[in-house]
Chain A
Amino acid sequence: AQSVTQLGSHVSVSEGALVLLRCNYSSSVPPYLFWYVQYPNQGLQLLLKYTSAATLVKGINGFEAEFKKSETSFHLTKPSAHMSDAAEYFCAVSSFSGYALNFGKGTSLLVTP
């Protein structure tokens, strides 16, 4: 079954520093991969998705992720953190059919002044 593992349940960065959130996937078939963000008391917002086109995927709010098959990774990065980036981030993988998403446990990003 397809699954993802997010390394680090909490990540803290300074404002202006690089954001790196790690996600590794396990999939027996070419996966579709996603990053979502969740702000307090809200639903999930799609940041970006990989669906086997370009391996470097650009998303909203300056985020991007690179699909690395050799490392089974799909890490999320942003060159310069803003205070407004503080939120919970979820990596997810879907089956080829796309009928369901399997989410990681989430990473809480704290941005300090």
Chain B
Amino acid sequence: KAGVTQTPRYLIKTRGQQVTLSCSPISGHRSVSWYQQTPGQGLQFLFEYFSETQRNKGNFPGRFSGRQFSNSRSEMNVSTLELGDSALYLCASSPGQGDYGYTFGSGTRLTVV
């Protein structure tokens, strides 16, 4: 079956702009999580959604937001981009209940110039 699909793979944005990243989970998975990966901070949890509800949120400013749709697809949005937002953004999905193994997508590489 198809894996976790993230679009786009690469993105270049200018400081101050906003960006929306998309994630399509594995069919049947109802939980979607987002992570930011940078060389300095490593992998950091952004937020997790299950059945359109945010169940958990990491320690990121309000410029970072997300949502999940009824078909479990998820988007994350970053407003007023800063240079430090340059990172690999990873999406992961899981069935959401009783199975704690997350399957990750290949990520979106965001570069802010």
Chain B residues closer than 8 Å to A104, beta-carbon distance: 42
Question: B96-113 toward A: CB 8 Å interface, digit per residue (1/0)?
Answer: 000011111111000000
Cβ of A99 and Cβ of B102 under 8 Å apart?
no
Question: B19-49 toward A: CB 8 Å interface, digit per residue (1/0)?
Answer: 0000000000001010100000011110010
Residue B100 contacts which of A32, A36, A43 (CB distance < 8 angstroms)? A32
Residue A42 contacts which of B58, B100, B103, B106 (CB distance < 8 angstroms)? B106
- In A42-67, the 8 Å CB interface with B consists of 42-46, 49, 51
- How many B residues have CB within 8 A of the partner chain? 25
Cβ of A49 and Cβ of B58 under 8 Å apart?
no
B55 at the A/B interface (Cβ < 8 Å)?
A: yes
Question: A91-113 toward B: CB 8 Å interface, digit per residue (1/0)?
Answer: 01010011111111110000000
B interface: dominant SS: strand
- How many A residues have CB within 8 A of the partner chain? 24
Chain B residues closer than 8 Å to A101, beta-carbon distance: 33, 35, 43, 45, 102
Shortest Cβ distance from A50 into B: residue:
B100
Cβ of B101 and Cβ of A34 under 8 Å apart?
yes
5 A-B pairs (CB sep. < 8 Å): A42-B107, A43-B106, A44-B104, A90-B43, A99-B55
Interface residues of A, Cβ cutoff 8 Å to B = 32, 34, 36, 41-46, 49, 51, 90, 92, 94, 97-106
